[in-house]
Structures are given as structure tokens and as C-alpha cells.
Amino acid sequence: MKKKRITSAEGEILKGKLVSVSRSEMSEVVLPAETNLLGKLLGGHVMHLVDVVAAMAASRHSNSYVVTASVDYIDFRNPVNLGEIVILMSQVNRVFNTSMEVGVKVYSENALTGERKHTTTAYVTFVALDEFSKTPKSVPPLIVKTAEEKRRWREAGERRKYRLAMRFKKRKREE
């Protein structure tokens, strides 16, 4: 079976990149300005941080400017409290052509005890843009090696099928 070659708009063959190239992490202390009246980190602020760390992963993989195309899923599991450290980790799960799905996990860490809790999971799709024309550009293939990377790759494909089916269904209703 012949391998499919992915090329850029200029016809150059794009070499695959390991998932590890895209891995990104950021953290910050939760301050009063970012919390609600109960001392919990605002969900909107978590969403902002998710978008930032996911964009970092997409940019690292594509070596491009990227724009958020969709937030496919966000699940707030546990709150993050005032004074805790919020830690966000992201990586590209799958590449399509000009787009990439990035998975993000968010944790809270109690700085006094070191206890960590998984607080949020999100999947965000980005489109890579050409530096000059700002139009979508092809993205290097993703090389998945571990069982976990393969699982994430497979599940990203399932989410994409669902997302595209829902988009088609919505367009049909609008006609």
C-alpha cells in the first residue's frame, strides 16, 4: 500500500511531527479578580486559558498562526479555588488537512499540600493560516506512537465525524 504524501500549497512534501512537539503547558495562581463570589475560578477564565494553551500546541505543530475554529467539548469536573495553581496541558490529537484537534486537560494544585485534581477537559479545533495570505494552509501529518496517542487520534476522528454531521444537519434546517 502506497503512503499518501501531504504537500503544502507550494508542492513541498510536509514531514510528519511527533505528538510531543506540540505538547504545551502553562500555569498561574488563581487571584481574586478571576474568581466568583464563592472564591472559585470563573468558567469563562478557564475557557480563555484553554484557548491560549491549545493555540500554543497548534502553533507548535503547524509552525503557523492559528485561529480557533470550534470548541467541540468542554467539561468542568471540579472547581479551582482562589489561591490554588491552575495547570493546563495541551497536545495535538489529530491533524486533518488545514485543521488540528487539540486536547486540553486542566488541573488544580493546592500549593500547600501538593494535591492535584483534574478539573476540566476540552477539545478545540484550530485552522493553520498562511503567514502572508492569512488563508488556511496544509499542516504536517501527526506521528502517533503510543497506545494513548493512537486512542486520542481515533477518538478525534470520531468527534470530527460528529461535528461535521451536526454542521450538515444545521445547514439543512436553515435552508
The strand pair at 24-29 and 65-76 is best described as unpaired
Tell me if 57 sits within 8 A of 119, measured CB to CB: no
pTM, full prediction: 0.88
Residue 7, pLDDT > 90, answer no
pLDDT of residue 174: 76
Torsion, CA 121, CA 143, CA 20, CA 55, rounded to 10: -50
pLDDT in tens, 120-149: 999 999 999 999 999 999 999 999 999 999
Q: How high does pLDDT run on average in the chain?
A: 92
CATH code for the domain defined by 17-174:
3.10.129.10
Domain range summary for the chain, segments of one domain joined by +: 17-174
